[in-house]
Chains A and B, each alone.
Chain A
Amino acid sequence: MTKLLVIREYLKNFYSKYEIYLRPTWKLLLAFITLMMINGKLGYMSQIDNVVVVLMASLMCSFLPTGCIAVIAALFITLHLYALSMECALVALLLMVLMFLLYFRFSSKDSIVLLLTPVSFVCKIPYVMPLAMGLVGTPVSIVSVSCGTIIYYFLSFISDNATTINVMEDDMTTRFRFLIDGLVNNKAMIVTVVAFAAALIVVYIIRRLSIDHSWTIAMVAGTLINIVMLLVGDLVYDTNVSILGVLLGGIVSVLLAKALQFFVFSVDYSRTERVQFEDDEYYYYVKAVPKLSVATPTKTVKKINTQKNYNESNQTTSRTVNTMNSAARNSAGTARAAGASRTVGTAKASERTTTEGKAIHNVRTVNTVNSAANRSTSQGSGRSSTKK
Chain B
Amino acid sequence: MLNEERIILMTKMASYEEHEGKKNVAIGNYFRSDYIGFQLLKSVISATVAFLIVFGMFVFYDFEMFMQDIYKMDLLSFAKNVLIAYAVTVGGYTVITYIVCVKRYNRAKQSLKCYYNNLKKLSGIYEK
**Is A98 within 8 A of B53, CB to CB?**
yes
- Output the least CB separation between A93 and chain B (Å): 10
Give the B interface residue count (CB, 8 A). Answer: 16
Range, interface on chain A? 10 to 19
CB within 8 Å of A: which B50-70 residues: 50, 53-54, 57, 60-64
**Is A97 within 8 A of B53, CB to CB?**
yes
**Which of A111-119, A152-160, A172-180, A196-204 has 4 or more CB atoms under 8 Å from chain B?**
A172-180
User: Is A106 interfacial (CB-CB < 8 Å)?
Assistant: yes
- Residues of chain B contacted by A105 (CB below 8 angstroms): 42, 46
**Is B62 within 8 A of A102, CB to CB?**
no
- Output the least CB separation between A133 and chain B (Å): 18
CB within 8 Å of A: which B40-86 residues: 42, 46-47, 49-50, 53-54, 57, 60-64
User: Is A101 interfacial (CB-CB < 8 Å)?
Assistant: yes
**Considering the chains assembled together, what is the distance between the CA atoms of A98 and B49 in angstroms?**
8
**Is B64 within 8 A of A101, CB to CB?**
no
User: Is B7 interfacial (CB-CB < 8 Å)?
Assistant: no
**Considering the chains assembled together, what is the distance between the CA atoms of A101 and B53 in angstroms?**
11
- Residues of chain A contacted by B97 (CB below 8 angstroms): 106
**Considering the chains assembled together, what is the distance between the CA atoms of A97 and B46 in angstroms?**
10
**Is B62 within 8 A of A177, CB to CB?**
yes
Q: In terms of DSSP, what is the predominant structure of the interface of chain A?
A: helix
- Residues of chain B contacted by A98 (CB below 8 angstroms): 50, 53-54
**Considering the chains assembled together, what is the distance between the CA atoms of A97 and B52 in angstroms?**
12
**Considering the chains assembled together, what is the distance between the CA atoms of A98 and B57 in angstroms?**
12
- Output the least CB separation between A182 and chain B (Å): 12
User: Is B93 interfacial (CB-CB < 8 Å)?
Assistant: yes
**Which of B42, B49, B57, B97 has most A Cβ within 10 Å?**
B57
User: Is A94 interfacial (CB-CB < 8 Å)?
Assistant: yes
- The contact of B49 among A101, A106, A176, A180, by CB within 8 Å, is A101
**Is A173 within 8 A of B60, CB to CB?**
yes
Residue-wise interface mask of A (86-108) relative to B, using a CB-CB cutoff of 8 A (1 in contact, 0 not): 00000100100110011001100
